[in-house]
């Protein structure tokens, strides 16, 4: 669609409003779980916030550590409730991710 096309304002009112407000060359960002289905934003979204919202929108339980140091400290904490019982699998998966990103040495 082009902004000047006939009837585009009626077919895509929200998109046209964004274009009129922010300019037609402005990049638009979408993260359905964070903003709502099909909602576009003219401001950049934090990818971690978008991922956390997507992971939290279903039956999946997930923890996201925002930096390597936090993830390593969590991995090394034997008392963390998330690691108890069947949580050993999650701890092992975190270890594998830390090794893959070279945040933790494979010993």
Mean pLDDT of 67-72: 93
pTM of the predicted model, to two decimals? 0.59
How does DSSP classify residue 11? Answer: H
- Asked if 9 and 16 touch (Cβ cutoff 8 Å), the reply is yes
Q: With H, G, I as helix, E, B as strand and everything else as coil, classify residue 41.
A: strand
pLDDT digits (tens, 9 = 90+) for 31-61: 999 999 988 898 999 998 898 888 877 666 7
pLDDT digits (tens, 9 = 90+) for 75-102: 999 888 889 998 899 999 999 999 999 9
């Amino acid at each position: 669609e082009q902004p000047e096309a006939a009837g585009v304002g009626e077919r895509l009112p929200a998109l046209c409003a964004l274009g009129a407000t922010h300019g037609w060359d402005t990049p638009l960002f979408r993260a359905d779980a964070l903003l709502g289905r099909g909602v576009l934003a003219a401001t950049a979204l934090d990818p971690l916030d978008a991922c956390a919202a997507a992971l939290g929108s279903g039956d999946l339980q997930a923890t996201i550590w925002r930096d390597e140091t936090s993830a390593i400290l969590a991995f090394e904490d034997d008392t963390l409730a998330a690691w108890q019982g069947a949580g050993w699998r999650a701890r092992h998966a975190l270890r594998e991710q830390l090794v893959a990103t070279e945040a933790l040495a494979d010993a």
